[in-house]
Amino acid sequence: MDDEKPAWKVPSRLRSNARALRQNSTDAERILWSELRGHRLLGVGFRRQVPIDRYIADFVCHAAHLVIELDGGQHFSNEAEQRDAARSAVIEAKGFQILRFANNDVLANRAGVLDTIAAAVAARAPTLPLPRKRGREQD
């Protein structure tokens, strides 16, 4: 099976919700995406706002089976934490590890967040890909 593509079908409504979330990212999501996109972290690919089962994960690295969730203030009530735990159980049942960061962590400690993500990727990816070359080499 190709590690870059999930094996499940995504309902069109969930797909359009994911598309809307990509178009309306938070500041923390934009900052983290600028660090993860284009295989910038350890040469592995990440996708953003990815449907998994009935949920949409903020960032996913299929090669490392890793999900990164960024939580705003609304996630820190007891009710929200229970919903997040149920959501995490469903996503983890698909074989993913979940890393959660508060939006403020990304804004105030970007390097620390990236170090944590890099360590998780290195631990979970069977072999890291070779870095991609930018542009074509001339003969």
Give the residue extent of every domain in the chain. 26-124
Q: What is the DSSP letter of 9?
A: -
pLDDT digits (tens, 9 = 90+) for 42-87: 989 999 988 888 888 999 999 999 999 998 866 556 787 888 899 9
pLDDT of residue 109: 96
User: Tens digits of per-residue pLDDT, 96-125?
Assistant: 999 999 999 999 999 999 999 999 999 998
Residue of higher predicted confidence among 22 and 76: 22
Give all strands (DSSP E) within 32-131, no chain letters.
47-52, 55-61, 66-71, 97-102
21: pLDDT strictly greater than 70: no
What fold characterizes domain 26-124? Endonuclease; Chain A (3.40.960)
| Contact (CB, 8 A) for 4 and 63 | yes
Structure tokens at 102: 């508060």
What's the confidence (pLDDT) of residue 139?
A: 42
Q: Look at residues 60, 71, 65 and name the one whose alpha carbon lies nearest to residue 100.
A: 71
What is the sign of the dihedral through the CA atoms of 53, 26, 44 and 108? negative
Helices (H), 68-109: 78-93, 103-108
Between 26 and 74, the higher pLDDT residue: 26
